[in-house]
Structures are given as structure tokens and as C-alpha cells.
């Protein structure tokens, strides 16, 4: 089967966007997960609801809201524009859409991991003289590493598969914002495009399977390290 260059472009863009979205979301998700797991503050349930919103909203609604916020005339869009970063109808916008959609899944996995760490271990580290950042870096972080990994894989998978919010927010411009799901959808709109679509479906399956296998292997290694074996 002859695979169109546009299909490879879509795959490359999807991987690129998903990697960026995952890498950018990890620290932010970790911070939010830590806030939700360990801190009591005013507006905690509001934050929790906001984080989970993309999970329950129709993706097209999330995409529209992103367009309103980040579009050329949107408040955040203008702010980004002023530092020379354009996101509307640009691959960076696809990163934002993927990040927002995957964020609740990442926060959830990380929050569970943080809640599983006994705060008494962190207290013990403090009594040994470790400052706060060192307690986090040497005790909390290694113990929640599997949770972070799980969250990252979920976020990556979501980013690879994200369609509704992306196409609403940044449209479907080949080579620019046409991710793999968008490209599959486009191919299916064209009479005789099934062949192209099937090629990309195979790609999507391979990437998804690869991600699962890789994360399993990583999780095993991390778990072995943590149990000290």
C-alpha cells in the first residue's frame, strides 16, 4: 500500500503535539495534584471541578472555549501574541487543546499516587534535617514516580487521540494543525479515501500499542527500584 506523505505528516505532527502536551502538562499536573491531595484552601472544590471540566464537557465545547480564550481577540490569545506566540490555527494551539483534554487524567493518576504516600515519611525526612524541596525530591517524588508515569502515559494517549477540541480550536490544516485523528476524519470524507484512512488507523494502533508496552516496561523498572530490590 502506498502511504501518502500527508499521512506521515499527520503522524509526525501528532507525535510532536502529544509529546509537547505531555511534557508541559507533567509539572503543572503534579503541582495541582499535590495541592488537591495535600492542601486545604479556599476554592479547592472549584479548582477540582475546573480541572475535571474537560472530562465531562463535550470536546467541541472545550474547543470553542479555548478558541474564545486563546483566539486572536481572546484575552489569553492577545497576551500570548504580545510575546510573539501565536496559537490560533497553529500547531501550538493543538498542544494547548491536547494538554487541556489530557490534564484531568494526569492529575487524577498523580493525585492518587500522592495520597498513597504516607506523610509520616515526609515528616521523618524533615526531622533528619531535609528542607522542604529535598523532602519532595528525595522522598515524595521517587515514591510517586509510578503514578507520574501512569499519568503521563494517559495524558500522551489522550493527546494522540484528541480530535473534537483540536479541530474546533485550530481547525484541520494539513501540515499545520492536521493531527492523525483529523487526517483520518478528512480521508473518510473523500470518496475513495478509505485506503489512506486505514493506513493511518494502523499507525494509530501501533503508536498506542507501543505506548502501552513502553509504559509497562518503565513502570516495572520504577517499581523494582522503589521496592529496593
The footprint of other proteins (CB under 8 A) covers 118, 120-121, 123-132, 134-135, 138-139, 142-143, 225-229
Between 12 and 132, name the residue whose CB sits nearer to other proteins. Answer: 132
- As measured in angstroms, the least distance from the Cβ of 144 to other proteins is 10
Q: Considering only CA atoms, which of 123, 149, 122 is closest in space to residue 137?
A: 122
Between 12 and 220, name the residue whose CB sits nearer to other proteins. Answer: 220
Sorted by sequence, the CB contacts under 8 Å of residue 163 that are 6+ apart come out as 59, 179, 181, 182, 185
Between 139 and 183, name the residue whose CB sits nearer to other proteins. Answer: 139
Positive/negative CA dihedral, 165, 171, 175, 181: positive
Q: Considering only CA atoms, which of 177, 218, 199, 144 is closest in space to residue 66?
A: 177
- As measured in angstroms, the least distance from the Cβ of 38 to other proteins is 15
Between 125 and 165, name the residue whose CB sits nearer to other proteins. Answer: 125
- As measured in angstroms, the least distance from the Cβ of 147 to other proteins is 13
User: First CA to last CA across the chain, in angstroms?
Assistant: 48
Amino acid at each position: 500500500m502506498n502511504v501518502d506523505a500527508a499521512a506521515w505528516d499527520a503522524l509526525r505532527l501528532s507525535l510532536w503535539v502529544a509529546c509537547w502536551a505531555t511534557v508541559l502538562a507533567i509539572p503543572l499536573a503534579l503541582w495541582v495534584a499535590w495541592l488537591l491531595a495535600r492542601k486545604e484552601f479556599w476554592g479547592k472544590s472549584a479548582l477540582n471541578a475546573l480541572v475535571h471540566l474537560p472530562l465531562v464537557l463535550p470536546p467541541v465545547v472545550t474547543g470553542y472555549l479555548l478558541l474564545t480564550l486563546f483566539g486572536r481577540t481572546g484575552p489569553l490569545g492577545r497576551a500570548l501574541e504580545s510575546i510573539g506566540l501565536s496559537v490560533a490555527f497553529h500547531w501550538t494551539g493543538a498542544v494547548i487543546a491536547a494538554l487541556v483534554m489530557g490534564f484531568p487524567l494526569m492529575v487524577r493518576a498523580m493525585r492518587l499516587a500522592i495520597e498513597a504516600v504516607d506523610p509520616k515519611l515526609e515528616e521523618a525526612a524533615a526531622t533528619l534535617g531535609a528542607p522542604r524541596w529535598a523532602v519532595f525530591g528525595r522522598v515524595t517524588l521517587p515514591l510517586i514516580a509510578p503514578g507520574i508515569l501512569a499519568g503521563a502515559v494517559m495524558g500522551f494517549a489522550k493527546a494522540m487521540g484528541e480530535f473534537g477540541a483540536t479541530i474546533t480550536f485550530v481547525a484541520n490544516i494539513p501540515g499545520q494543525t492536521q493531527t492523525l485523528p483529523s487526517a483520518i476524519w478528512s480521508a473518510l470524507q473523500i470518496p475513495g479515501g478509505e485506503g489512506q484512512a486505514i493506513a493511518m488507523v494502523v499507525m494509530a494502533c501501533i503508536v498506542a500499542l507501543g505506548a502501552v508496552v513502553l509504559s509497562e516496561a518503565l513502570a516495572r523498572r520504577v517499581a523494582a527500584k522503589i521496592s529496593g530490590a
